Structures are given as C-alpha cells and as structure tokens.
Chains A and B, each alone.
Chain A
Amino acid sequence: MKHIALVSLAVSALANLAMPATGAEMTGKEVFEHYCTYCHGSGEGPGTMQLKRTRGADKAMLTERHDLAPDYIEYIVRHGLRSMPPFVPSDLTEAELRALVAFLTK
C-alpha cells in the first residue's frame, strides 16, 4: 500500500507540473502565431511562397490582406486547400477559429 501511495503522489505531482500546450483563451494574433505562422508568417514560409506564386505578391502575406471573407477562412481551415491540410477542431478549437477569423478580417 505504501508503494501505491507513493506512486499516486508522484503521478499527482506530475499532473500539477503539467501545463497545457495551448492556452484556452488565446487572442486571434496568438492563434495565428501558434498555428499559422510556420507557413504564413514570413516570406520564406511555404504558404506565403505559394500564395505569392498563385495569387500575386500583394496577396502573399495573410496578415496584410483585406479581402478574406470570414466564411472562406473558416472553410479553408477546416477543409484545407491544395497542399494545406485541414485543422481538426480538437486542435484548433471553434473558439480559436473565431478569434483567428476576427484577427484576419479586422
């Protein structure tokens, strides 16, 4: 029993140290930086480079665009487009998606 108690204590201590990898209340900017910036955050990102080639330089950076409709953003995030795969709602949550849409359409 002593051993079981020690293990329980250890697991409990681990759980207390545990931190969620993503914040539940991220702002739209934080959502973009967390999920999108690796492909869309710089000129060398594969998403930015592809948009530059297919849509033109003025539409390459998502954060500098003003023509993105909320429904379109939601659809692409959930369904993907060409090389961009979809994001599942357990990962990029519905609340985070709303914040992201607000950030990209402000």
Chain B
Amino acid sequence: MAEPLPPGVNAKRMADALERFRRIVGGDWVFSGEKVASYYDPYTIPNEAERHKAHAAVAPASTEQVQEIVKVANELRVPLWTVSRGKNFAYGGAAPVLSGSVVLDLSRMNRILEVNEKFGYALIEPGVSYFDLYRHIQERGLKLWLDVPDPGWGSVVGNALDHGVGYTPYGDHFGMQCGMEVVLADGEVVRTGMGAMPGNNTWQLFKYGFGPYVDGIFSQSNFGIVTKMGIWLMTEPSGYRPYLITFPRAEDIEQVVEIVRPLRLNNVLQNAATIRSLVLDAALFTTKSQYYSGEGPIPDSVAKQIMADQEIGMWNFCGALYGPPAITDVLWTATRDAFASIPGVKFYFPEDRKRRPDILIHRADTMKGIPKLTEFGFLNWNGGGGHVGFSPVSPITGQDAIKQFRMVSGRVREYGFDYMGLMAVGFRELHHVTVIVYDPTSPKERAKLNELFSLMVREAAAEGYGEYRTHIHYMDTIAGTYSWNNNALMKMHQTIKDALDPNGILSPGKSGIWPRHLRESTKT
C-alpha cells in the first residue's frame, strides 16, 4: 500500500518537501517507503487501514535543523507530527493522528546538556531516554535519582510533555519540568521562564520568569516543538524502604482510598504510590493460560488461586519510605497503623518476599527511579500483545474509587477482557489507569475494543470523570468531553493555534486541536 498523502498535498509537493528535508538532515535521516512501517502504531485500534499512517519521517539532529524543517513545511503546507522518541506505545507510539503527516522524529536529538548535582536538575534534549539519563548519572557516580514511568526507553521530555507519572516523590513529571526551548511554527526559537533573560543562570531553577507562564501550552499540544527541557532530579535520600500492603477483597478499595487521602495530604505517604489490581500484578510474570483456559475474564475462584500462589491481594499498595531511619520509622508506623483495621491486610518488606520474580522486588527498583521494561510482561497475559490505556481522573475518595472501579471493571469484563487497573495517588487526585490488553491482529477484537473504549469515555464523562491522556485514535473524543461553556476551552486552544501556527503544520489533531483548514473535514 502506498503511503497516504495529507489533505491538500499532492505527490509532487510531498516529494519536493522530502527532498528539501534530505538537504537539511542528510539522506540517511529521511525515511520513506518501506521504512515508514517502523512508525506505524504497533497496537492499532481502527479497522480502517488508512487511519493514523505517516507518509514519511524526518529525524533532525539539532534545533537549527528543526527550524529549517519547519520553514520548509510551512512553505509547502506539509503537516509534521512531532515525537520525542515515539515510545508512547499505549497511546499510539510514533503514529500521527492525521494520515499522511511526516513524523518529525527527535530521537537523534539525544544530548544530555547538563546534569547539575548541586541543584538537582538536568537539561536535556527530547531524544534522551530514561535509560540514557540513568546511565549518564550512574557512570558519573552522581547522587541523584530519576523518577521513571514503567517503560524506561521513553523520552524524559516526551513523557513530561504528555503529563506522564512516575512513582517517587517526583512522580508528577510535568510538575518537575523547569524551563524549555521551543521552536515555533514560523521557525522562531523561544526560551521560557528565566531562559528568556540573557545571561541569567536560573533557567532550570525557577519556572515562572516574568509575565505569563506559558510552558503548559506546549504540553499535550501542537503549538510548538520542545527542543530542550529542564527536569528536576531528586537528591539521593539517606535511606530507602519500599513496602507492599495487600488487601484481599475487591471492595476494599473504598476503605483503602479513604485511608490514603489524609496520609497523602499530610505527606505521610511521600511518593506517588500505586494501588494495583490483582491481574495487573499477576500478569507481569505469569500468563492467563497458566490458570484459566475458559473464555472471557477469569472467575473468582481463579483469582483466589492466583492470590495464594503469588502472595498478592485483589489490591496491592506499593509505596516507599525515603529518608533517614529516624523519619521513615515514624512514617511507617503511621502508615501501618492506618491500614491495620482492614480485615485480611498483609504488610511486606522486600526481605519478606521469597518468590522470584516478585512484584515488590520489581517495584522496589521503579520506586527508586531505576528504569526498566519489566512492566511490559503484562502484555503477554493473554497472548495478544496489544494494549491501550483508559485513564480517568478522580478525587482521592473511597466513594469515587469504588464507583470508578465498578464502572470500568464491569464494562471491561462484560466485553470479555480482564480488569488490569491501578490507581496512582497524586497530590490531590487519583489517576485510575486501566490497560486493556487485546489482540491487535484481530479485526474483531479491535472492533470490540473500540466499542468498549468509546462507551467507557461516555459513561465516565456522564459522571464527571475526564481522561488525562489518551491514544491518538481518541483525542477528538476525549477533547469533546471537556466542553464546559459551549467548548470555551477548545475555542481558546484554536485561537492560540491559529495565531502561532496559521498554516496548521504542527501535529494536526493533537489533543483534538485542529488547524482552521481541517476543522470541518475532520469532525467525527
């Protein structure tokens, strides 16, 4: 199948654009024809083969090359789809929303420009992965910790820009970014915050600079291309003690979350802890077929067997204590006492876990910022390999937690999938992330998933729950749920889009934001 062309761009104009891109970055770094396959969404959802297919990809090595590419794209009206490393696989990978786009792949911009141990930050380019930054810090013996999401091969910049979360006290990744360099659609380069002041030395220390704080408009957006970013790093604590608390019944989530809220608000819970469901944890190291050969989700009897075999609960609270023992001992006593009233609760430290591999031993690495790919084990649960994340946000209340759990797990199981969810505890909110593992090679399964996902979005929105992040296929759908006051927020986004990118060449359709000339034709 020939690669699709974007609306309004013919083959001749696209060929001209690719030739000019080659002159900018070199012939080895423009990928077309068969080589574009690596940029397809590996876990595709729609059954229409032409959806979300890139025409080509271009991989610049510097901010200057990005500027030149953008100028050509503007002149020829060729849409670019920007990815930092394109590893955001639960949400579309490197694939664009708009078919025919040229992927602007920033993987080669992988310089670690500075790691500052004294102040605890790094200044990096978007192609730097968690593995890269971790390796850099370890090789130099710096007393700094990263905060990592589950897949360590992703971009530190890209994850922060997509509002990704991790599991240390620095788990809010965008909250930890400080200072950006951004290439705008016309090729202009902007530095935000203190970076706008010549000679200033606090670009990575103070976020706000002077005047409007604009960094947020470059996250989950298509208003510019972030080519450098500061990220705060945690100073290595003097002590670290990870723990696991298990709860035996599904309905325990209500009481667990009620206990979590005051602990989190009072900083007794120091990190972005997670409350993980049975099958999600079991799936890291075992498969469904080891326990169950029937159709549909596992029955309760199988769940009980898994719990016994793996010494885990229906819910598993993974947390950690950071600091000197004099402090962490007190925090642990308060934490343990708070949860002790739940019938059947069990408390574990790593030394209590003898089975290998084991969920706490694995999560102990993640909660101290060691990047891994172990979490991808859950993709093997039913052999399908594909996955998509459904991620509504709620307050930290037991009532919301059990309501969301029942809504999502009920629908997921009704459609024949196992519920694999977690609730990540933020500063004031719960991210309820459910991964649905499916077979992306089966048109029937993709159609079923699509129906399920769309239904869950509608039902969540009807209850006032919004997704914080989504797959490229659902960006319009999710954006449509943020519709207060006759879509006033989207109208503002569109005003900004039209001002900064009047030709609409930057990532059309990102987060539901379309350039003016595509707004009508892309309505779904």
Contact = CB atoms under 8 A, between A and B. Distances in A.
Interface of A: 2-4, 6-7, 14-15, 17-22, 38-39, 44-46, 49-50, 53-54, 78-91, 94
Interface in B382-421: 383-386
A46 B373 contact: yes
17 contacts: A6-B198, A19-B136, A21-B136, A38-B372, A44-B357, A45-B374, A46-B373, A49-B377, A53-B287, A53-B380, A79-B37, A79-B38, A82-B379, A83-B386, A84-B385, A88-B57, A88-B94
A105 B284 CA distance: 29
Contacts of A4: 198
A34 to B, nearest CB: 8
B385 A82 contact: yes
A10 B82 CA distance: 28
B193 interface: no
B89 A85 contact: yes
Given A20-B110, A90-B31, A90-B57, A39 B373 contact: yes
Interface string B49-86: 00000000101000000000000000000000000011
**Which of A21, A44, A50 has most chain B Cβ within 10 Å?**
A21
A94 to B, nearest CB: 8
Contacts of A39: 373, 376
Contacts of A90: 29, 31, 57, 59, 105, 107-108
A3 B177 CA distance: 25
B113 A46 contact: no
B356 to A, nearest CB: 8
A22 B372 CA distance: 18
Contact of B113 (A17, A38, A88): A17
B384 A82 contact: yes
Nearest to B376: A46
B42 interface: yes
Given A21-B129, A46-B376, A87-B38, A3 B123 contact: no
Given A38-B372, A83-B379, A90-B57, A78 B37 contact: yes
Given A18-B112, A38-B373, A88 B380 contact: no
A22 B373 contact: no
| Top 3 A-B pairs, shortest CB-CB distance | A82-B385, A83-B385, A3-B198
B111 interface: yes
Contacts of B89: 85
Interface in B85-115: 85-87, 89, 93-94, 105, 107-108, 110-114
B285 interface: yes
Contacts of B110: 20-22
A17 B115 CA distance: 10
Given A17-B113, A79-B38, A89-B35, 7 more contacts: A14-B114, A39-B373, A53-B287, A53-B380, A84-B385, A88-B105, A90-B57
Given A6-B198, A88-B105, A89-B35, A50 B113 contact: no
B35 A83 contact: no
Contact of B379 (A21, A46, A78, A89): A46
Given A3-B199, A17-B113, A46-B380, A86 B38 contact: yes
A87 to B, nearest CB: 7
A15 B85 CA distance: 21
A18 B111 contact: yes
Contacts of A84: 385
Interface in B285-303: 285, 287
B123 A14 contact: yes
Given A6-B199, A38-B373, A39-B376, A88 B129 contact: no
Contacts of B232: none
